[in-house]
Structure 1
Amino acid sequence: MGMVFLGQVAVSRDNNLNLIRMIAAFAVLVSHAWPIALGPQAVQPLKALTGQTLGTLSVWVFFAISGYLITLSFVRTDDVPRFVLARARRLVPGLIVSVILVAFVIGPIVTTLPLAAYLSDPATGSFLWRNVLMAMPQFHLPGVFETQPYTDVVGSIWTLFYEVLCYVGVLIVGMMGLLHKRRAMAVGVVIYAVAWLSMTGTGLHPKLTALHQLSLPFIIGMAFYLWRDRVPLHGAIAVLGFLPAILLHNTVCAVPAFVIAISYATFWLAYVPGGVIRAYNKVGDYSYGLYIYAFPLQGLAVWLVPGQGPWLNIAIATPLTLICAVASWHVVERPAMEGRFRLSPTAALRPHG
């Protein structure tokens, strides 16, 4: 059998992307169990070994997949309103419902304030609009989790703002017609790489630092799509791809090499292994719900059983989060994506990401 290229196998929805995203979302839950149960000083899994937390590695996987699929979505759609509507339908309805449930179900149950004081506190109202708008997320609610090792009510959703910024980048590049021009995109990728390396460790504003970090796997995912017909997929390459990251340890190129290796391994796992694992696609895409509900429910787990360790936190929070994720997918996310919740008269487009 000859070499298989990404462009040959990435031609349908028959892949392992839903499963990979689900595993990545669960890995974020696992990673967060340490600071949520023990406090922000706790050393998270893989941090000592790789220099990155398990949660960070999982977010890289999310952004690499997103870079690939969002680029594919714009190229196939080639229609700005439909593209924007598809992205909004994928992210916003599920986020709105989750924020409302955290503020008006979990919050009133666990707050140390009287209910009237909690509901009338300006921070309760701002929690809704700030987190739905994503740009200035609010992590605290009045009197909620204030005596626990980690006081944030929500945590993971901070990455959604940078996800949207990356979508905007695809939109701008797509509107300029550059996604169909490989030479121009190659120049753009080189300029981005030089800029990324030159800005590393320069003390940027925190938001620029976050964009600097998260845009990297997204851009790499875009590159995998644009040059998909030239990307061979092989298990040996997926394993050996981590060697440059190891050799470049403690250099400015270590993180890019690591992100490239993880991205390549992700796409190999997504499109080459088959068999029974492909049956997961019949279940549903619960990864987004797992991602946005895990953090507040892990905090709720600590409130229910004070003094717990990370593994007990995982054991308690996982089934609670899965229930919310499954409900979110079937009741909110999938209907919104399929256009059953009309956001505009524009025809519905099932998004790819």
Structure 2
Amino acid sequence: MSSGRDNNLNLMRLVAAALVALSHSYLIVNGEGSSQPLADLTGFTLGYHAVNIFFVVSGFLVIRSWHRSSSLTHFGAARAIRILPALIVCVVMTALMVLPFASSLSLWAYFTSPQTMAYVPLTASLVTPDALLPGVFETNPVPFEINGSLWTLRYEIVCYAALAVLGMLGVFSTRLKMLVVFAVLSAPLIVLSFMPTLFADITPAQHLVRFGLCFGLGVLAHELRDTIPLHWTGVAALFASAVVAHGTAAFPLALYVFVAYTSLWVAFIPEGPVRKFNQFGDISYGLYIYAFPIQQLLIYQLPALEPLELFVATLAITIPVATVSWLWIEQPMLTHKDAIYGVLRRALKLSPARA
């Protein structure tokens, strides 16, 4: 596994974002409790597996960001610059420019509602992903839900913070130290993953187990990238182990390992024309944060849409929106992130040593 940019990671993340949108299409058309792709086969929805891919890839990339950062605040600023600007624009656009016209309230009542006033700061800051907008989507099969994708971002930030703490403690300074700490930290998570009745996929504790393991597997893969062989036989063997473990308490863990290994195999092994996708940039984040409100708006306007029809319509609208987000917001911020960090450091009067 190379640590450079000649890989399929952007394509991998885009496919994962599209799979989340596909899974949500069934939810948004049929409502809570409806059947979704892979749910009957694996016990988990397609979106569940796709988000796991995101966390594996994120762990692989964010540890690289840690190694390249000159300080803790440099790392924190880089992570904030990647997450927040596009999120803030998305939240403002949906709440103040688009969804007022999907509300049952008058524009005056909508904009003067305390819910509207609170939505942008609460959602953009990730204080809560569940803030409501007055009268919006109240008749949809999934009523009142504005953006059902944003809740995972809080766990992403928790993973960033945990990685930063471990980095400050010098855990990544030697491979032996990292392996020992990873074993110690992952042991309780692995034990908890064997307790599905206590940690169903509805509690913060279960989410931390799930996302912590997936993110940690990505970090571990990066740190051991020169020793981990990637081969289709590995994919087949881990798939077989997941099949054997199906129906047992070991299944979630077997599934996480299979998804992690397969994601990295897809990201690094296929070559040729597929690598040219990197020329188009990374629109996966934009697709992820915009798709759900666009899907809700589509089903609000066109309630007869079937799940696959909704999915196709969602991609047709969201991919251009995500492309604009990448070209006008995300890419410029990433290009100038060091300069932005310098401005922030001077504004906070932090010396390079303290920063």
User: Do both proteins adopt the same fold according to a TM-score greater than 0.5, normalized to the shorter chain?
Assistant: yes
Distance 2:259 2:235 in 1: 8
Q: Does 1:178 align with 2:176?
A: no
Q: What is the CA-CA distance between 1:320 and the residue it aligns to?
A: 1.1
**Are the aligned partners of 2:171 and 2:181 in contact in 1 as well (CA < 8 Å)?**
no
Counterpart residue type for residue 143 of structure 1: G
**Are the aligned partners of 1:197 and 1:252 in contact in 2 as well (CA < 8 Å)?**
no
Q: Does 1:286 align with 2:283?
A: yes
1:66 corresponds to: 58
1:136-215 equivalence runs, <5 A: 136-151=128-143, 152-199=145-192, 200-201=195-196, 202-203=198-199, 206-215=203-212
Q: What is the CA-CA distance between 1:207 and the residue it aligns to?
A: 2.1
Q: Does 1:57 align with 2:54?
A: no
2:224 corresponds to: 227
Q: Does 1:301 align with 2:293?
A: no
Q: Does 1:254 align with 2:246?
A: no
User: 2:333 aligns to what SS in structure 1?
Assistant: helix
Q: What is the CA-CA distance between 1:108 and the residue it aligns to?
A: 1.0
**Are the aligned partners of 1:127 and 1:138 in contact in 2 as well (CA < 8 Å)?**
no
Alpha-carbon displacement from aligned partner over 1:68-108 (angstroms, at most 9, x marks no partner): 11111112324212211111110000000000011012221
**Are the aligned partners of 1:61 and 1:263 in contact in 2 as well (CA < 8 Å)?**
yes
**Are the aligned partners of 2:42 and 2:246 in contact in 1 as well (CA < 8 Å)?**
no
**Are the aligned partners of 1:112 and 1:143 in contact in 2 as well (CA < 8 Å)?**
yes
Q: What is the CA-CA distance between 1:188 and the residue it aligns to?
A: 2.0
Q: What is the CA-CA distance between 1:123 and the residue it aligns to?
A: 1.0
User: 1:146 aligns to what SS in structure 2?
Assistant: coil
Structure 1 residues 197 and 342 mapped into 2: Cα distance closer, same or farther (>3 Å)? closer
**Are the aligned partners of 1:239 and 1:265 in contact in 2 as well (CA < 8 Å)?**
no
Q: Does 1:18 align with 2:10?
A: yes
Q: What is the CA-CA distance between 1:139 and the residue it aligns to?
A: 4.5
Distance 1:137 1:227 in 2: 35
**Are the aligned partners of 1:130 and 1:136 in contact in 2 as well (CA < 8 Å)?**
yes
Q: What is the CA-CA distance between 1:344 and the residue it aligns to?
A: 5.1
2:101 corresponds to: 109
2:331 corresponds to: 334
In structure 2, runs of 5+ residues without a counterpart are 346-355
**Are the aligned partners of 1:94 and 1:333 in contact in 2 as well (CA < 8 Å)?**
yes
1:350 corresponds to: none
User: 1:345 aligns to what SS in structure 2?
Assistant: helix
Alpha-carbon displacement from aligned partner over 1:327-353 (angstroms, at most 9, x marks no partner): 100111111111279465169xxxxxx
Distance 1:311 1:272 in 2: 30
- Count residues with an aligned counterpart: 339
Q: What is the CA-CA distance between 1:255 and the residue it aligns to?
A: 1.0
Residue range with higher mean Cα deviation, 70-79 or 92-101 = 70-79
Counterpart residue type for residue 343 of structure 2: P
Q: What is the CA-CA distance between 1:314 and the residue it aligns to?
A: 1.1
1:76 corresponds to: 68
Distance 1:62 1:78 in 2: 25
Distance 2:222 2:73 in 1: 22
Structure 1 residues 28 and 139 mapped into 2: Cα distance closer, same or farther (>3 Å)? farther
Distance 2:210 2:78 in 1: 25
**Are the aligned partners of 1:197 and 1:253 in contact in 2 as well (CA < 8 Å)?**
no
Q: Does 1:270 align with 2:262?
A: no
**Are the aligned partners of 1:64 and 1:218 in contact in 2 as well (CA < 8 Å)?**
yes
2:35 corresponds to: 43
Distance 2:273 2:133 in 1: 44
Distance 2:54 2:190 in 1: 22
With normalisation by structure 2, the TM-score equals 0.91
Residue range with higher mean Cα deviation, 45-54 or 69-78 = 69-78
Structure 1 residues 309 and 139 mapped into 2: Cα distance closer, same or farther (>3 Å)? farther
The share of aligned pairs that are identical, in percent, is 35
Structure 1 residues 139 and 28 mapped into 2: Cα distance closer, same or farther (>3 Å)? farther
User: 1:214 aligns to what SS in structure 2?
Assistant: helix
1:315 corresponds to: 312
Q: What is the CA-CA distance between 1:197 and the residue it aligns to?
A: 3.2
1:3 corresponds to: none
Alpha-carbon displacement from aligned partner over 1:35-88 (angstroms, at most 9, x marks no partner): 101111211101111111110111111000111111111123242122111111
Distance 1:63 1:125 in 2: 32
**Are the aligned partners of 1:139 and 1:154 in contact in 2 as well (CA < 8 Å)?**
no
**Are the aligned partners of 2:122 and 2:131 in contact in 1 as well (CA < 8 Å)?**
no
**Are the aligned partners of 2:23 and 2:45 in contact in 1 as well (CA < 8 Å)?**
yes
With normalisation by structure 1, the TM-score equals 0.92
2:348 corresponds to: none
Distance 1:135 1:250 in 2: 36
